Amino acid sequence: MSTKTRSIQSIKKELLKKSREAVLAAVQIYNNPQITFKSESFIILSNIAWTYLMHAYYRSKNIEYRYYETKGKKKFFSKTKKGADKYWELERCLDCKDCPLDKDTKNNLKFLIGIRHEIEHQMTNKIDKYLSAKLQASAINYNYYITKLFGEKFSVDKELSISIQFSEINPMQKEQLTKSDKLTPNLQLYIAEFEKNLSDEELCNPRYAYRVLFIEQNVNRKGQADEVIEFHKPDSESADEIKRILVKDREIPKFLPTEIIEIVKGKGYKNFKIRNHTELWKVNNAKNPNKGYGVQVSKQWYWYQKWVDFVIKYCEENSDKFR
């Protein structure tokens, strides 16, 4: 083995070691009941873990992941103020054409990168319950890819266990949890803007957001109550029964006025303009929250599909005016 090859292997191993340490620290902090700054800490540490993982991959494939400029045939590498090479940040790693991650895993990471940008400059409220599905997906995705890219010996799933809580959550507590600790306006706006560009399929993909359902269950045979979690195949009778008794909790699609105009024009009502839209919602007092036509996020009003349908019906009833 050449000196260069040994150097590549040595750096790759060190990157993977640091990457695993970072993701394990992220999960341990998140599962610590005495820490309240959970999601923020997880996002920052897992960002580092994923960055090192991507660097290890590019290093193993001999892909340059440092910033540089080319002048003639020579490369000039960008440096920090202290003279060190500038390596790609995670987002640049994801945008590389040779990135091995699937689209939904990238969506998950880019979502969390955006959250990190929002939280690193200002204080947040407790955001754990709003982001837990995204954080869970990120952790599972990490274990999947480090194993896929570098082998079973690097997996982290055997070193982690399911976190345990001391009390059940009754319906009243659930309602209180939902009402309290609302997201700050900047995070509300960021999430709305990010997820409106995702399809329903992308929103529901477990690599983007992984949701686990806990159901209190009575058992009538020995051994049935030994495991905390049971897994049900999506096409099984038990899964169908679970779907029957549950209402899926997901982000409601939101539309800006300009998007509604484009939708209406696509229906053939080319003379329906922004001013017509403004007049319509004012006449119908449509921004009254009790009517359920939309929601204000930060200083921006977003419309739900219910309002879009109302507008289309209005245009149909006045087709001579708007066609």
Name residues of the chain where pLDDT drops below 70. 1-6, 120-126, 128-129, 159-184, 211-252
Dihedral sign, Cα of residue 273, residue 279, residue 282, residue 285: negative
Looking at the DSSP bridge assignments, the partners of residue 87 are 66
- Predicted confidence at residue 183, as pLDDT, reads 62
Distance in angstroms (rounded) separating the CA atoms of residues 221 and 226: 11
pLDDT in tens, 223-236: 444 544 555 565 66
The answer to whether 202 touches 107, Cβ cutoff 8 Å, is: yes
**Residue 178 structure tokens:** 């939902």
Distance in angstroms (rounded) separating the CA atoms of residues 43 and 158: 21
Query: Which residue in the block uniquely carries the two structure tokens 């009402």?
Result: 179
Give the C-alpha distances (Å, rounded to integers) separating 21 from 16, 41, 162, 240.
8, 14, 18, 40
pLDDT in tens, 65-87: 998 888 888 888 888 888 889 99
- Predicted confidence at residue 250, as pLDDT, reads 47
- Predicted confidence at residue 168, as pLDDT, reads 45
- Predicted confidence at residue 209, as pLDDT, reads 80
Query: Which residue in the block uniquely carries the two structure tokens 């329903």?
Result: 200
Is 0.85 topped by the overall pTM? no
CA 210 to chain centre: 9
- DSSP state, residue 75: E
The answer to whether 23 touches 142, Cβ cutoff 8 Å, is: yes
